[in-house]
Amino acid sequence: MGSRSSHAARIPDVDSIRRETGFSQASLLRLYHRFRALDRTGKGYLSRMDLQQIEALAVNPLGDRIIDSFFPDGSLRLDFPGFVRVLAHFRPVDEEEDGNRDPKEPEPLNSRMNKLRFAFQLYDLDRDGKISRHEMLQVLRLMVGVQVTEEQLESIADRTVQEADEDGDGAVSFLEFTKSLEKMNIEQKMSIRILK
Amino acid sequence: MSHQLKNRGEEGGGTRGQARSGSLGTGDRSRRTPSMKRTRPAEKAPSRHRSQPGQKERAGGSPGSSSPRRKQAERRGRRELLGDRERGSAEKTCGGRRRKDGRASLREQRAPSKKEKEARRKEEMWKQLKKHRSSSMASSTSSGESLSEEELARILEQVEDKKKLIASMRSKPWPMARKLAELREAQEFVEKYEGALGKGRGKRLYAYRMLMAKKWVKFKRDFDNFKTQCIPWEMKIKDIESHFGSSVASYFIFLRWMYGVNLVLFGLIFGLVIIPEVLMGMPYGSIPRKTVPRAEEEKAMDFSVLWDFEGYIKYSALFYGYYNNQRTIGWLRYRLPMAYFMVGVSVFGYSLMIVIRSMASNNQGSTSEGESDNFTFSFKMFTSWDYLIGNSDTADNKYASITTSFKESIVDEQESNKEENVHLTRFLRVLANFLIICCLCGSGYLIYFVVKRSQEFSKMQNVSWYERNEVEIVMSLLGMFCPPLFETIAALENYHPRIGLKWQLGRIFALFLGNLYTFLLALMDDVHLKLSNEETIKNITHWTLFHYYNSSGWNESVPRLPLHPADVPRGSCWETAVGIEFMRLTVSDMLVTYITILLGDFLRACFVRFMNYCWCWDLEAGFPSYAEFDISGNVLGLIFNQGMIWMGSFYAPGLVGINVLRLLTSMYFQCWAVMSSNVPHERVFKASRSNNFYMGLLLLVLFLSLLPVAYTIMSLPPSFDCGPFSGKNRMYDVIQETVENDFPTFLGKIFAFLANPGLIIPAILLMFLAIYYLNSVSKSLSRANAQLRKKIQALREVEKSHKSVKGRATPRDSEDTDKGNSKNGTQLTKEGTAHHPASQSQTLDQKAQGPGASSSARKTVLLASQHLPVSRAPGVRPDSGQARPQVHPWRSTSGKRAWRPPH
């Protein structure tokens, strides 16, 4: 590593990234190390392949979706600011930070809403703001595989839609999604302790 | 330093946010201490491992999540070691202290409840300080986390200031309250930061305290991990649960619990009865009751004899008859008969207590949860994956468990939606019950018949192996064939599998109970027979001994050798006979269970698996297929077996030891058998949250098995020549004897007084009253509980209906508006009624906006949408649906004002 990478100043645009994501300098530094470690060939950005190497993502049924969320608009390159921005969703929430926040500022990336939005995106394949029954079925197939009959899968999907759907359009919108996960402790579950 | 503190003030909880940053250090510090660089790779590894995207914090629970956590803890431990070493070295600069502080505050975050307060106090203090000390410091907050010399100096200065303030407090013209407050604050500040600055008296104390706090947190975490690891077979059970569902796992959990209970009983009996007897009692062969009689001596070591618990085993400490009625044994003057009696009583006492306690705690658990029924599928769908899983085996298990849990929910769902022909169902249920009652009566009679026959056989001399073991064989066969029969009949009833399981359990329970009781009655007949013979045998013994010593007319000078103990004629010792009977039953039961598993499950599975290649039809899907795990049979087998242990352990103290072995082997054997040769149930269903039904059955069995033991102790005279109570009129006389001989007389009087019926009857009355009172209290509480739950449900319904009414009321000019309305409706009702913590962020916002709440919804969405371009890099598809949600609130705000609900 050497002194080269251990210095925060090496990270491009440190200050703007910090302001935007709320990461501390040191976490940024660590993320930067991580970023560089993932970037095996030293090309300065990450490709899909790089992320697919991660083991936990490889066994995750939604792994591809997660990787997709790092490449928002079909781009093939993930630069460091983008990387940090996605990870900022997982920064633990600080209540006091919330309290002190200037109401005019945009909501921080790690707010409950943004965390939920991130999760929502994983399921919303076509990005139309709704999780349709079809999208749900796809996720289910990923999650339970062939052990459950198609019929049962459909009944699960139907039930899920039925539970969450409030306006009767046969799909789960973001607000409905929020509502159905109201009781989940999203702030805690979608936080990674080390990403301060 | 000051910089970091400033950040605290600014970012609020950012204190904690700084945690890791402190540990990694900043540029200038790492330049100062080259040793840091060497440690960094070690630190980096875990961080790399954990900073993966999409990882989720989870409180464990899933099978996979525990091991990564453990690893984390290890790594953390390593890092801490590194840190400590560093600090131990010459590094005593403020940087080092920041490190500590940082890490400590990391801990704080993990145990927020305790430490948060402290952190907050610090912050407040700091804010105040900022006010005091003008704004000059605020300027230096921006970039760079390192502490410049300047900042250091500033803190130093502040500390000095505070010190001065403390010194001159007396002369300040302030009111006393303020003086006190200021003084306290100043003292706290000095204490905190003086140590931090590496100066003054507080330094060591501070460092020590930090160290201890850290160590304590680490210890607690390690201890938690350790506790989880200490739960025996947890992984096995989780494994089974993930493949077979919670219902099958509930059996294994019950088995584990039973094993624990039996271990305690085993400890009681072995520690207080068997081991003292073996160590201090008279050795084998010293007296008649401890010697194999002459007639049996030849065959006493044959395996077939030993297998029947005759021969040497019969005359060992495993059975009642071996114990002597000496009041005290050994140099400890251990009162064995007394201990024997008390242990017998406390086996029941402990079992009762533990069963009731676990029932109560199960109940508590079941009332606290049970609210999350509303979004079952959504929860499962959106949040079931554990993002910490990085191991493919664990991932497989998780897949299985997700599938299983989905299946469980589907079954519940289907059952709740089922509609059927009520009359037909009722008729079928009555029919099924009738058939099953017939079966039960038949099997009861069969057992009675067989027991009668076996009594005749026992009087005959040459009986074959079958005739000797007829009772056991018939009972085992009944146990093997009746449950499947019941299950077939129960298929008529068409219950939800969970309720069906309960019925099935109840029926098999009745079967076993009938078996048990006919068995007991037969045994009682046997005992009474033996008791009636006892008098004559007693006379014979006396006469023999008398004759032996007196008939020696021919050589008076040489004292005669005492009669060899093996030659003394002795009684039949019905207690040992009973013990042996229970012992045999337990062992044969165990063997039958294992053989059934081997044949019925394993061989069948092998056959199906390997013959499938060359068979005319599909064996796996068709007729034999694989076996399912028989929950009801196994649970009842376990309960029934435990009942026999309870009954038999008084007469055969070694029975518990055998049972412990049995449970241990069956844990491993059944775990293996389930995983290797069973398939999950066709309809995997969720076990009821508490296995109180099992416990209830167990309690019933315990009570029932208490009856015969209490009867024999209270009303049958013990054998005259065997066992610890021989020579007494009744077994419980041993207590009276102890009270009279060993306790001071006044205690004896007290006991006599307590035993007075005039006192006992009021006491019993009082107990009844207490039970009645507690019962009514608990009933009213549970009623209140149910009402509250109903209220919540009703609120939710109201909320929903509001929405739907609104949805219908608003003109449906466009789909968009409509949707916007209902969304806003959601938020409004939330504002009004359900201030659920989860909706905090929204409600907070709304509160901040005050009365202009109508724009709050807009704001939330706005904020979110403003963020969208940020969360995705520039150049998003412009027309992707993401932009749409922003539109709704604006369009619908007017409508919303119009239909604001009257909360």
Average pLDDT for consecutive 10-residue bins of chain A (196 residues)?
46 74 78 82 80 77 79 77 82 61 62 81 80 82 72 79 76 81 73 68
Residues of chain A contacting B123 with CB distance shorter than 8 Å: 96
Mean pLDDT of the B48-72 span: 39
pLDDT confidence of residue B265: 95
CA distance B77 to B95: 21
Residue B67 — very low, low, confident or very high, per pLDDT cuts 50/70/90?
very low
Q: How confident is the model at residue B256 (pLDDT cuts 50, 70, 90)?
A: very high
Rounded mean pLDDT, B125-134: 47
On whether both A109 and A178 belong to a single domain, the answer is yes
Q: Decide which of B878 and B262 is more confident.
A: B262
A12-31 residues touching B, CB cutoff 8 A: 14-15, 20, 22, 24-27, 29-31
The better pLDDT of the pair B752, B122 is held by B752
pLDDT of residue B655: 93
Q: Which residues of B touch A40 (CB under 8 A)?
A: none
Q: Which two tokens stand for residue B752?
A: 């006599």
Residue B56: phi, psi to the nearest 5? -125, 145
A7 touches chain B (CB under 8 A): yes
- The answer as to whether A150 is a domain residue is yes
Give the integer Cα–Cα distance in Å for A168 and A190.
Answer: 29
Which residue segment(s) compose the domain that A61 sits in? 11-89
Instruction: Check residue B12 and give its pLDDT.
Output: 37
**B66 against B120, higher pLDDT:** B120
Q: What is the DSSP letter of A173?
A: E
A24 and A68 assigned to the same domain? yes
A189 touching B (Cβ < 8 Å): yes
What is the overall mean pLDDT for chain B?
Answer: 71
Using a CB-CB cut-off of 8 Å, the residues of chain B touching A169 are: 815, 819
> Which of A106, A113, A166 lies nearest to residue B826, judging by beta carbons?
A166
Cβ separation B11–A193 shorter than 8 A: no
* CB-nearest partner of B873 from A29, A73, A174: A73
Longest Cα–Cα distance in chain B: 129
**How confident is residue B420, by pLDDT bands cut at 50, 70 and 90?**
low
Is A145 in contact with B52 (Cβ distance < 8 A)? no
Residue pLDDT, tens place only, B813-827:
444 444 444 444 334
Same domain, A73 and A111: no
Res B202: pLDDT: 60
Q: Which band of pLDDT confidence, cut at 50, 70 and 90, is reported for residue B85?
A: very low
Residue A76, in any domain of the structure: yes
Residues A73 and A110 in one domain: no
Residue A128: inside a domain, yes or no? yes
> Helix or strand or coil: residue B872?
coil
Chosen domain end from A89, A115, A144? A89
Q: How near does any CA of chain B get to the CA of A101, in Å?
A: 8
Contact B35, B82 (CB under 8 A): no
Residues 6+ apart with CB under 8 A from A70: A46, A51, A78, A82, A83, A86, B53
> For the residues B773-793, what does the mean pLDDT come to?
91
What does pTM read for this prediction? 0.64
User: Cβ B18–A90 below 8 Å, yes or no?
Assistant: no
Residue A99 lies in a domain: no
Is A5 among the domain residues? no
Name the band, by pLDDT with cuts 50, 70 and 90, for residue B690.
low
User: In percent, how much of chain B has pLDDT > 90?
Assistant: 15
- Of B251 and B69, the structure prediction assigns the larger pLDDT to B251
Q: Do B58 and A189 make contact, defined as CB atoms within 8 angstroms?
A: yes
pLDDT, position B114: 45
Q: Kindly state whether residue A123 falls inside one of the protein's structural domains.
A: yes
Q: Are residues A24 and A64 in the same domain?
A: yes
* Same-domain status, A83 and A128: no
State the average pLDDT over residues B640-662.
92
**Domain total of chain A:** 2
Sequential DSSP letters for B437-502: HHHHHHHHHHHHHHHHHHHHHHHSS---HHHHTHHHHHHHHHHHHHHHHHHHHHTTT---HHHHHH
8 Å CB contact of B389 and A56: yes
Which chain B residues touch A166 with a CB distance below 8 Å?
800, 803, 822, 826
Best-predicted range by mean pLDDT among B755-764, B853-862, B889-898?
B755-764
pLDDT of residue B672: 93
Measured distance CA(B522)–CA(B526) in Å, rounded: 6
**Is residue A194 one of the residues assigned to a domain?**
no
Taking chain B, what is the end-to-end CA distance rounded to the nearest angstrom? 51
Residues of A in contact with B373 (CB under 8 A): none
What tokens were used for A17? 């990234």
Segment B146-165 shows an average pLDDT of: 69
Residue B703 exposure: Cα atoms within 13 Å on the Cβ side: 8
- Please check whether residue A151 touches B, CB under 8 A: no
b/e B669-691 (16+ beta carbons within 10 angstroms → b): ebbebbeebbbbbebbbbbbebb
A134 domain-assigned: yes
| Number of inter-chain CB pairs under 8 A, A vs B | 292
Reported as a single tens digit per residue, the pLDDT across B302-358 is 888 888 888 889 999 999 999 988 888 888 889 999 999 999 999 999 999 999 999
Tokens of B653: 């103290």
Last residue within a domain, chosen from A56, A89, A122: A89
pLDDT of residue B823: 41
Query: pLDDT band at residue B808, thresholds of 50, 70 and 90?
Result: low
Mean pLDDT calculated for residue range B557-571: 72
Residues 35-54 of A with CB under 8 A from B: 37, 51, 54
Asked if B21 is an interface residue toward chain A (Cβ–Cβ < 8 A), one would say yes
Polymer length in residues for chain A: 196
If one compares B18 and A61, the residue with the highest pLDDT of the two is A61
- Closest by CA to B521, choosing from B481, B471, B474, is B471
Q: Residue B806, exposed/middle/buried by CB under 10 A (0-12, 13-18, 19+)?
A: buried
By CB atoms closer than 10 A (0-12, 13-18, 19+), residue B226 is exposed
Residue A62 shares a structural domain with residue A112: no
Which 342-381 residues of chain B touch chain A by CB within 8 A?
A: 372, 374-379, 381
A70 and A115 inside one domain: no
Per-residue confidence (pLDDT) for residue B722, from 0 to 100: 87
Task: Determine contact, residues A37/A58, Cβ cutoff 8 Å.
Answer: no
Same domain, yes or no: A81 and A112: no
On the question of pLDDT at B20 being above 50, the answer is no
State whether residue A116 sits within 8 Å of chain B by CB.
no
More confident residue, B447 or B895: B447
Residue pair B573/B651 in contact (Cβ under 8 Å)? The answer is no
Which of B26, B29, B37, B55 to probe the A interface (max A CBs under 10 A)?
Answer: B55
B835-852 per-position pLDDT tens digit: 444 334 443 344 444 343
Least trusted range by pLDDT, from A56-60, B34-38, B126-130:
B34-38
**Reported ipTM:** 0.73
- Separation of alpha carbons A146 and A152, rounded Å: 11
Whether residue A72 is found in the same domain as residue A125: no
| Residues A83, A24 within the same domain | yes
**Residue B151 pLDDT level (bands cut at 50, 70, 90):** low
CA-only gyration radius of chain A, Å = 19
Find, among B179, B133, B43, B793, the residue nearest to A6 by Cα.
Answer: B43
What mean pLDDT is predicted for residues B641-669?
Answer: 93
CATH code for the domain of A50 = 1.10.238.10
Lowest mean pLDDT across A96-110, B613-627, B664-678: A96-110
The residue out of A39, A56, A89 marking a domain boundary is A89
Same domain, A137 and A172: yes
Residue B82 has pLDDT above 60, yes or no: no
Q: What is the dihedral of CA B512, B513, B517, B520, to 10 degrees?
A: 60
Check residue A70 and give its pLDDT: 81
- Comparing B521 with B645, the larger pLDDT belongs to B645
Q: Is the pLDDT of residue B858 over 60?
A: no
